[in-house]
């Protein structure tokens, strides 16, 4: 990873705690002027990493009585001289301290700028920085546990281990190229091919398992599809316990997807109510139907609602698709084997549906205990490495095989942040909150 020199940076500050009023507000500082600013506000420097009670003053006026913590670089979170001011969390106090920091030469931090500096100084890796963002955004226990696992460095160690094995393969390959007349062991070429095949298989297994962890991070997508008036909106409302979707006897009431996020079995699930599937000459309704089919194609699970006496709609999806007979109170015959009959009016079948949803969510998020990719960026990087490894396996020219190995190593390096990360930093840290 390329390191940014701390002395070349500005000194930044931001409120790291919630909005006032509250009991305590934490103002963070980081950068080369941190110690000078602390001296100006607190009268003198406090001992490192020791909470010290001081009266903060500026321009002859007392601003607040605060706890001051100083973290000298490079052992701080950002790798720079840093500090925290634990203030009384009144709006007037926070505003007065912020004004003083501005006057003393500090600059308001951008979203994620503290963690960005930690990443650029080498204190944390790019994958750990992403884990911090996921931990801050975690809504469920599963998301929290997954983010903590990644923050612990498991994913970085996996990718760095692969990169190290690739570098060893590349070194062997270059030895075959540079010293063709030397008596290199006959087993070298066979060992290279065996190790290459093993690496490729490991990465492919990692990609296959990635869908599970991506669902934990982003949520399981359950799409409710079917013909108009099949009861899709009523089912969404029954599952959420709220009137999230408009229910009307008029066909075509839902023209665009309505998404409701709920926790099921400790996992975030997005239930998506879609437009009724049918032929129509209405351009707006047709666009809603097109979007409904796109949602179904991308779903993790499709609930295909069918009215009594009607045939199920043809839904193109690779996901599991459950046929659910709605309006069970109007059924004149039992539901067919494999179908579930429900009535949102009487509640019939809803408890059984909820039980099956819990089992499905657990199944969709179950997997191994190893490190898993969690973002589209991770998937794209590993997929790129696999493409180059497959290329290396079929190359007959040693030079071309070596180039493919080098490209695979670069793809993994971009994932961990060891090389070429400038183009992704703005995207990653722009998703952070200010003060982190």
Question: What are the pLDDT digits (tens) for 308-332?
Answer: 878 888 888 899 999 999 888 877 6
329 labeled binding residue:
no
Residue 62 to residue 65: CA distance in whole angstroms: 8
276 marked among binding-site residues: yes
Which pLDDT band holds residue 389 (cuts at 50, 70, 90)? Answer: very high
* 201 has pLDDT over 70: yes
Q: What is the pLDDT of residue 368?
A: 64
- Give the C-alpha separation, 170 to 295, whole Å: 43
Mean pLDDT for the chain overall? 86
- In the block, tokens 């919630």 appear at 18
Higher local confidence (pLDDT), 279 or 383: 383
Of residues 337 and 77, the one with the higher pLDDT is 77
The stretch 99-115 carries a mean pLDDT of 95
Q: Return the higher-pLDDT residue of 169 and 253.
A: 169
pLDDT tens for residues 241-254? 876 555 545 445 55
Residue 122 annotated as lining a ligand binding site: no
Q: Tell me whether residue 192 is annotated as binding.
A: no
Instruction: Tell me: is residue 327 an annotated ligand-binding position.
Output: no
Q: Is 368 annotated as a binding residue?
A: no
Task: Flag whether 209 is marked binding.
Answer: no
- Class of the domain covering 12-125: alpha beta
Fold of 219-365: Rossmann fold (3.40.50)
Binning pLDDT at 50, 70 and 90, where does residue 434 land? low
Q: Is 436 part of any known ligand binding site? A: yes
Q: Would you say residue 377 has pLDDT above 70?
A: yes
| Core vs surface per residue 103-138: b (16+ CB within 10 A) or e | ebebbebebbbbbbbbbbbebbbbbbbbbbbbbeeb
Residue 253 labeled ligand binder? yes
More confident residue, 52 or 425: 52
What are the structural domain ranges in the chain? 12-125, 132-215+375-416, 219-365
SS (H, E, C) the chain: CCCCCHHHCCCEEEECCCCCCCCEEEEEEECCCHHHHHHHHHCCCCCECCCEEEEEEECCEEEEEEEEEEECCCCCCCCCCEEEEEEECCHHHHHHHHHHHHHCCCEECCCCHHHHHHHHCCCCCHHHHHHHHHHHHCCCHHHHHHHHHHHCCHHHHHHHHHHHHHHHHHHHHHHHHHCCCCCCCCHHHHHHHHHHHHHHHHHHHHHHHHHHHHHHHHCEEEEEEECCCCCHHHHHHHHHCCCCCCCCCCCCCCCCCEEEEEEECCEEEEEEECCCCCCCCCHHHHHHHHHHHHHHHCCCEEEEEECCCCCCCCCCCCCEEEEEECCHHHCCCCCCCCCEECCCCCCCCHHHHHHHHHHHHHHHHCCCCCCCCCCHHHHHHHHHHHHHHHHHHHCCCHHHHHHHHHHHHHHHHHHHCCCCCHHHHHHHHCCCCCCC
Asked if domains 12-125 and 219-365 share a fold, the reply is no
Residue-level pLDDT at 4: 45
The pLDDT assigned to 402 comes to 85
Q: Is 149 annotated as a binding residue?
A: no
81 is in an annotated binding site: no
Query: Looking at the predicted structure, is the pLDDT value of residue 386 above 90?
Result: yes
Give pLDDT tens digits for 69-103. 999 999 999 999 999 999 999 999 999 999 999 99
At the topology level, CATH places domain 132-215+375-416 in 1.20.120
Query: How confident is the model over 257-270, as a mean pLDDT?
Result: 91
More confident residue, 60 or 337: 60
Task: Kindly report the pTM of this predicted structure.
Answer: 0.76
Binding site annotation covers 275? Answer: yes
Inform me whether the pLDDT recorded for 231 exceeds 60: yes
> Is 123 annotated for ligand binding?
yes
pLDDT single digits (tens) 276-319: 888 877 788 888 888 989 999 999 999 999 988 788 888 888 99
């Amino acid at each position: 990873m390329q390191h940014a020199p701390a002395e070349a940076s500005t000194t930044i500050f931001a409120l790291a705690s919630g909005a006032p009023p509250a009991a305590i507000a934490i103002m963070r500082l980081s950068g080369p002027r941190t110690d000078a600013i602390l001296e100006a506000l607190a009268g003198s420097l406090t001992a490192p990493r020791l909470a010290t009670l001081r009266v903060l003053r500026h321009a002859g006026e007392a601003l607040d009585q605060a706890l001051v913590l100083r973290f000298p670089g490079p052992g701080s979170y950002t790798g720079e001289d840093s500090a925290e001011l634990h203030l009384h969390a009144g709006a007037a106090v926070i505003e007065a301290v912020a004004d003083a920091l501005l006057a003393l030469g500090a600059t308001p931090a951008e979203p994620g700028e503290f963690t960005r500096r930690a990443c650029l100084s080498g204190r944390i890796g790019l994958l750990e920085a992403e884990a911090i963002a996921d931990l801050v955004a975690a809504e469920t226990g599963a998301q929290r546990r997954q983010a903590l696992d990644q923050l612990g460095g498991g994913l970085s160690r996996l990718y760095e281990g692969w990169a190290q094995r690739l570098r060893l393969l590349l070194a062997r390959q270059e030895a075959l190229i540079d010293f063709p007349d030397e008596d290199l062991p006959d087993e070298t070429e066979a060992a290279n091919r065996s190790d290459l095949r093993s690496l490729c298989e490991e990465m492919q297994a990692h990609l296959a398992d990635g869908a599970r962890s991506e669902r934990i991070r982003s949520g399981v997508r359950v799409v409710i599809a079917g013909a108009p008036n099949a009861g899709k909106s009523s089912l969404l409302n029954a599952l959420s316990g709220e009137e999230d979707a408009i229910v009307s006897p008029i066909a075509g009431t839902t023209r665009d997807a309505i998404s409701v996020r709920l926790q099921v079995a400790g996992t975030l699930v997005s239930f998506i109510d879609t437009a009724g599937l049918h032929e129509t000459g209405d351009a707006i309704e047709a666009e809603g139907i097109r979007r409904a089919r796109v949602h179904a194609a991308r779903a993790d699970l499709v609930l295909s609602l069918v009215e009594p006496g009607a045939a199920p709609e043809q839904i193109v999806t690779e996901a599991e698709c459950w046929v659910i007979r709605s309006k069970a109170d109007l059924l004149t015959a039992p539901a067919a084997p494999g179908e579930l009959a429900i009535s949102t009016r009487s509640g019939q079948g809803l408890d059984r549906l909820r039980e099956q949803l819990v089992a499905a969510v657990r199944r969709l998020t179950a997997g191994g205990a190893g490190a898993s990719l969690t973002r589209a960026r991770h998937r794209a990087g590993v997929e790129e490495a696999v493409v180059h490894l497959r290329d290396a396996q079929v190359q007959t020219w040693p030079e071309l095989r070596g180039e493919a190995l080098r490209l695979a190593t670069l793809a993994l390096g971009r994932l961990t942040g060891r090389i070429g990360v400038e183009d992704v930093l703005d995207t990653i840290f722009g998703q952070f909150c200010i003060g982190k």
